[in-house]
Structure 1
Amino acid sequence: MSQNQNTNSVHHFLAFDLGATSGRAIIGTLSDGKLTSEEAYRFPNGVKEIDGKYYWDVFALFDHFIAAMKKVAASGIKIDSIGIDTWGVDFGCIGEDGSILGLPRAYRDPYTEGVPEKVFAVLPKEELYQATGTQIMNFNTIFQIYAQFQEPDSPIHQAKEILFMPDLLSYMLTGEKVCEYTDASTSGLINPRNRDFDRSLLDRLGIKSSILREIVQPGTKVGMLKPEICAETGMESIPVIAVAGHDTASAIASIPAADEKFAYLSSGTWSLMGIESRTPIVNKESYELNITNEGGIDGTTRFLKNITGMWLLEQSRKTWEKEGRTYNYAQIEAMGLAAVDFPSTIDPDDPRFAAPKDMDAEIKAALAESGQQVPKTDGEMVSCIYHSLTKKYIDVIAMLQRFADFKIEKLHVIGGGSSNKLVSQLTANALQIPVICGPVEGTSIGNIMIQAKTAGLVKDLWDMRRIIANSIETKTYYPESK
């Protein structure tokens, strides 16, 4: 396609962006080298408890997809393709006849508690990490598969194969099955060097590795929208694209970076801080630090560390609301700024903050036990949380710099946390590098641009990023003099 055709044509793409509590249908429009996006439909999602087990209601999600497509078709906008991104690790089981066997289990189900230790008896912990480069977390797919095989009534015993969540939903739309790389890379079953499953891992656990499909890379066409879905929704027969199915992979693809000398922070309830690498980084030091290697687009590896994010603030707000104090985000930021010199900090990743009954009380107890000043106001608590996060960022950036073969010159912040002005400035001050914030809606933008790449409208990851940088507003925070 010529450059003139690229820039002067108008193309519309539909991105389904699913999170653990809600999903959205976003229409992205690429015209004259610029990208715009608009939310077309929003719907709820959540864990469904049945007899003490936790599931995702994939059939309810499918119904929302249908409703969204009806609305899009009624608008008269001609869609070029569809892409789906979701969270990682979870999967559905497919029977010999192609039917979906029950509902996919949710990563929040405690059925994997104690399972990693059982797996380590066969696959020693460090050996498993060296084989996959994946951080050890009890909800990794490998542990979920093992746990399900221990349940006599689990559908996995009748499964011919498994499909990860974005692939399961694209299967429901097209009738075609794929296994997209970025989402599969969260499983703890991928060899990051050859970007394929290490099937020997399941074999050694006595589990049939044939349930794992062949890997496809982001940008692969899954299939065409089923005729009956077109008839029901009014949509035309269009392709469904396997984008970077893992939402974080799509989000990182949206970073409007000009070169590779950056670290990123995907900031929300939980934070992911990392670098983009051309090769996986798997060694004893990365194992000891529990840093993960996950798949990116165009052959990149997302070398990253999980950090507790605004969970600390969100849970503290619940306490304050119970006590009759409700604040909006602008008020919280102002309170934090007024108490910005409050000196005490915690380790956000201390296990005691994972799920306390009262976060505000737990933080105060931790500070008292360490001999630090305890917040007397909610504003001081906000300041404590913000400074604790930025202090953690210093540690993680230093950690990442030890592995990077380039100097980290800037931090790109994407996701909801990128709109927090105070934290962004504190982060720039702490790291002493510029902090570039935006896009807030990085996941859907990455999803859309990968579809555009598949359509031949952009060349590669850096062309995508150039268009994104020219299309969105970012805010740069520079270090203030000390």
Structure 2
Amino acid sequence: MTSVRVAAVDLGATSGRVIAAEAGPGLLRLDEVHRFPNDPVRTPDGLHWNLLELYRQALAGLQRAHRSGGGLAGVAIDSWAVDYGLFRDGRLLGVPFHYRDEVRGAAGVERVHAALPRAELFARNGLQFLPFNTVYQLAADPWAELADRMLLVPDLLGRWLTGAEATERTNASTTGLLDVRTGEWDRELADRLGLPRRVLGELVDPGTRIGALRGDLARALDLPELLVTTVGSHDTASAVVGVPMTGPGAAYVSCGTWGLVGAELAEPVLTEAARAANFTNEGGVDGRIRFLTNVMGLWLLSESMRWWARDGGSVSLTDLLAAAARLPGDVEVFDVQDSRFLAPGDLPGRIAQWYDEHGLPAPTDRPSLVRAVLESLAQAFTDAVERTQELSGERIDRIHVVGGGSLNVLLCQRLADRSGRKVLAGPVEATALGNVLVQARTAGALTGTLENLRDLVARTHAPIVLTPCPRRAG
């Protein structure tokens, strides 16, 4: 086989895409054929994902990918982590909740830690504390007792495509219910938390073919019976595959709605210092460990833009970024990790409130607020890289920024300045690239280790290099 043509369904927290791709020796080409918004829906019982609409849009994208030329051999899905659907007898019980729902996580945290302390939970699952982790959501979910299966979002959509059930291991590692040492379900933990073991399904590794597109679905959509493959179905796991790291000494920032900052390791770091610093050990492709921490990302910017545009007025991000870059002088940074910034709404007002509470001058207009956001993110990413180096014992001399944040030149340059390290920006499509690379290797069009796959990324999607300017260290 010289090359293979596949589709990647890449679902982000604010938008989704379907990408047609061709991959083979010396070849890695992507073509975005369909993009659509991912807008949550608030009902009387909380904030939900509009999963049926995401499924409909994914199918429409597969049709476009197939018709765009050359046909398709397969498809794989990646998405955000932690959120899930519960099934009973093959039927979905209710509409999956959004991790930004304000109520469920808090109730679950209290119930879980009434059963075991945080330090013990970290020793078992290696995960940082986030109030919306799956384990907390499940503990507060009244449907769990009725369910016979839990499927995370990519696995849920995979079931609808194929009729087959499987739970991809890298995404399962984000639930808090996976043993960090064995990579298997911690069923004893489930028992202690009163969660039914039966909801924890069969685990499969990235690169597993779970089945073909259902025949009735293929006929209705005029599609071939595509092979559906698991990849790093947590989008960060796929993004890390697509980071063109060419040797040791690299940290990565997968920057989209969130900024996932860390390094790839062979073994988890389970020290008390790592737990106290809120670092996590998530599963990666080929058994690697993604040692990282969650930092607020471009959500701060996108939600501010949404707020400004709510009255129908025109708001140009390009113009705001240009104006922000021209602002002179130093900028006081704010704590992007403050929990007040998690929920949708008036983020510009909340940011101004933070400055007021800390006795600092608040941004006075939109360009100055955008500049404050980017400076604060750059500092938060710098701090996370420093902690990654300290906790892992791995010397870090360069930072790869992938995802949407890699296109933000001001953010990347200020990260270089503040960290004193070379920043390699791109590819923006790291998640889709990682998805496609694992599919292509499974199909036999590519071979080798992650390093071989990343070398192909570096040759076909070379990053932009930004060097630090010491005078602007911040």
TM-score, normalised via structure 1 length: 0.91
For 1:235, which of 218, 223, 235 is the aligned residue? Answer: 223
For 1:249, which of 229, 234, 237 is the aligned residue? Answer: 237
Q: How far does residue 356 in structure 1 lie from its aligned partner after superposition?
A: 8.1
1:184 counterpart residue number: 172
User: Residue 432 of structure 1 aligns to which amino acid in structure 2?
Assistant: G
User: Residue 19 of structure 1 aligns to which amino acid in structure 2?
Assistant: G
Distance in 1 (CA, whole Å) between partners of 2:349 and 2:61 is: 43
Q: Residues 61-460 of structure 1: matches in 2 within 5 Å?
A: 61-96=54-89, 98-109=90-101, 110-148=103-141, 151=142, 154=143, 156-317=144-305, 321=309, 327-355=315-343, 358-456=346-444, 457-460=446-449
Q: Over alpha carbons, which structure has the higher Rg?
A: 1
Distance in 2 (CA, whole Å) between partners of 1:450 and 1:378 is: 42
Closer/same/farther in 2, CA of residues 319 and 400 from structure 1, 3 Å limit: same
The residue matched to 1:298 in structure 2 has which SS?
Answer: helix
Distance in 2 (CA, whole Å) between partners of 1:335 and 1:139 is: 36
Residues 181 and 218 in structure 1, CA contact (< 8 A), matched pair in contact too: yes
User: Residue 428 of structure 1 aligns to which amino acid in structure 2?
Assistant: A
Q: Deviations over 1:235-292 (max 9, x none)?
A: 2223100111111111111101101321111112321111111111112111111111
Q: Deviations over 1:13-58 (max 9, x none)?
A: 1111112333211101124512111112223333234442443343
Q: How far does residue 319 in structure 1 lie from its aligned partner after superposition?
A: 5.8
Q: Deviations over 1:347-400 (max 9, x none)?
A: 221234444854334433433443434444443333332222222223212111
Closer/same/farther in 2, CA of residues 206 and 250 from structure 1, 3 Å limit: same
Q: How far does residue 443 in structure 1 lie from its aligned partner after superposition?
A: 1.3
1:34 counterpart residue number: 27
Closer/same/farther in 2, CA of residues 211 and 32 from structure 1, 3 Å limit: closer
Q: Deviations over 1:165-224 (max 9, x none)?
A: 111111111111111011111101111111111111111122321221132111111112
For 1:46, which of 39, 56, 61 is the aligned residue? Answer: 39
Distance in 2 (CA, whole Å) between partners of 1:353 and 1:309 is: 11
The residue matched to 2:290 in structure 1 has which SS?
Answer: strand
Q: Structure 1 unaligned segments of length 5 or more: list them.
A: none
Q: Residues 462-481 of structure 1: matches in 2 within 5 Å?
A: 462-481=451-470
- Identity among equivalent positions (%) equals 35
Residues 282 and 291 in structure 2, CA contact (< 8 A), matched pair in contact too: yes
Q: How far does residue 325 in structure 1 lie from its aligned partner after superposition?
A: 8.0
The residue matched to 1:24 in structure 2 has which SS?
Answer: strand
Distance in 2 (CA, whole Å) between partners of 1:177 and 1:197 is: 16
Closer/same/farther in 2, CA of residues 320 and 162 from structure 1, 3 Å limit: closer
Closer/same/farther in 2, CA of residues 14 and 356 from structure 1, 3 Å limit: closer
Distance in 2 (CA, whole Å) between partners of 1:209 and 1:280 is: 25
1:12 aligns with 2:1: no
The residue matched to 2:104 in structure 1 has which SS?
Answer: helix
Residues 453 and 460 in structure 1, CA contact (< 8 A), matched pair in contact too: no
Distance in 2 (CA, whole Å) between partners of 1:360 and 1:55 is: 24
Q: How far does residue 429 in structure 1 lie from its aligned partner after superposition?
A: 1.2
User: Residue 475 of structure 1 aligns to which amino acid in structure 2?
Assistant: I
Distance in 1 (CA, whole Å) between partners of 2:15 and 2:9 is: 11
Range 30-39 or range 255-264, more displaced: 30-39
User: Residue 381 of structure 2 aligns to which amino acid in structure 1?
Assistant: Y
Closer/same/farther in 2, CA of residues 12 and 348 from structure 1, 3 Å limit: same
Following superposition, which runs of at least 4 residues in structure 1 exceed 6 angstroms of deviation? 322-325
TM-score, normalised via structure 2 length: 0.92
User: Residue 112 of structure 1 aligns to which amino acid in structure 2?
Assistant: G
User: Residue 65 of structure 2 aligns to which amino acid in structure 1?
Assistant: V
